[in-house]
Amino acid sequence: MADYAVLGAGSWGTALALVLARSGHDVRLWAHDPDMARTMAATGYNPRHLTDIRLPETVRPTVDLAASVATATTVLVAVPSHAFATTMRALAPAIAADTPVVWATKGLDNAGGGLLHDVAAAALPDHPLAALSGPSFAGEVAHGLPTAIVLACQDRAVGNRLCADFHDERFRVYLSDDLIGVGLGGAVKNILAIATGIADGLGFGANARSGLVTRGLAEVRRLGAALGADDRTLTGLAGLGDLMLTCTDDQSRNRRMGLALGRGASIDTATAQIGAVVEGVRTATEVGGLARRLGVDMPICAAVESIITTGRSPMSAAEALMERRPGAEFDDRLS
């Protein structure tokens, strides 16, 4: 069995550590906060996330990043997107040669707005790299509810091994080689979840929600075409699958952020109520910048960005979307 270092003891990192432990792997779970790591080691429970689930003995909490990765056969990174680049740079001097690195982080690079696989490749040029993404709420994964997800890796032999490490009767993993599409789908869906939450918070109903999900997918596909993603990825688990999940279920932090904004709350108030990182708030600006640089029209994402960055009222942004000039449903560039 494999020896995994999981970097990030949030809900998603903890859930994936439990998946790996269920499959018989040894796991060192790294927490940035020393108090959190000590509490997990002493009690066997994560004090902030998935607090009702006892960690098995094969999941060993630690606060020493270098020691946790030094002998690992695989490293899994599950930190928030704003900490991704820093974590990758910290890995470089500590990780053994040729060790595969997988990330379950969803978002874009906080500094340059680029895709995470480019950040990882720059920091770890000699390591096999992979991204794990798809429709997966951490709580359901941790409790062993059936989940289907995708792992993108351009080295097929490494990808097959990693899929086998995660795959069991409750966690089904499909293999892809499209790091661009998998990364993009996981980033943009959070913005679109805020948009659908806003619409529901404003009381717009099921028709509006369905329209936002469908036209939101068109925006992701346009951006994917500009970046060279495989369009099939964006209609698969890491694209449409994750989009549907995040936009329609209140377990989604991003959807709950949108609901709060639509009901008149401020971003700060909503963030405090949610009590955790809401990736779409940060990613909205990063995706907006990327779309403008590439000349890609993403009106729904732009509306969310304007609400977040300029304080525009959700109703004003929604009205502006509905008043846009009529156009063709399908973009010939995607045919």
Annotated binding site: 8-13, 32, 106, 134, 136, 138, 189, 242, 252-254, 277, 279
**What residue numbers does the annotated binding site for substrate cover?**
106, 253-254
**What residue numbers does the annotated binding site for NAD(+) cover?**
8-13, 138, 253
Instruction: Say how far residue 217 (Cα) sits from the centre of its chain.
Output: 16
- Classify residue 115 by its DSSP letter: B
| φ and ψ of 4, to 5 deg | -105, 140
Q: Which candidate, 103, 97, 28, places its Cα nearest to that of 63?
A: 28
Compute the distance between CA of residue 242 and CA of residue 183 in angstroms, rounded to an integer: 12
Q: Are 228 and 279 in contact (CB under 8 A)?
A: no
Compute the distance between CA of residue 168 and CA of residue 19 in angstroms, rounded to an integer: 8
Q: Are 99 and 73 in contact (CB under 8 A)?
A: yes
Amino acid at 184: L
Q: Which candidate, 61, 76, 50, 2, places its Cα nearest to that of 28?
A: 61
Helix (H, G, I), strand (E, B) or coil at 149: strand
Helix (H, G, I), strand (E, B) or coil at 29: strand
Q: Which candidate, 121, 150, 157, 123, places its Cα nearest to that of 135?
A: 150
DSSP string, 123-137: H-TTS-EEEEESS--
Residue 98 burial (CB count, 10 A): 9
User: Is 307 part of the annotated catalytic residue set?
Assistant: no
Among 189, 221, 222, 256, the one annotated catalytic: 189
DSSP string, 19-59: HHHHTT-EEEEE-SSHHHHHHHHHHSB-SSSSTTSBPPTTE
**What residue numbers does the annotated binding site for sn-glycerol 3-phosphate cover?**
106, 134, 136, 189, 242, 252-254
Catalytic residues: 189
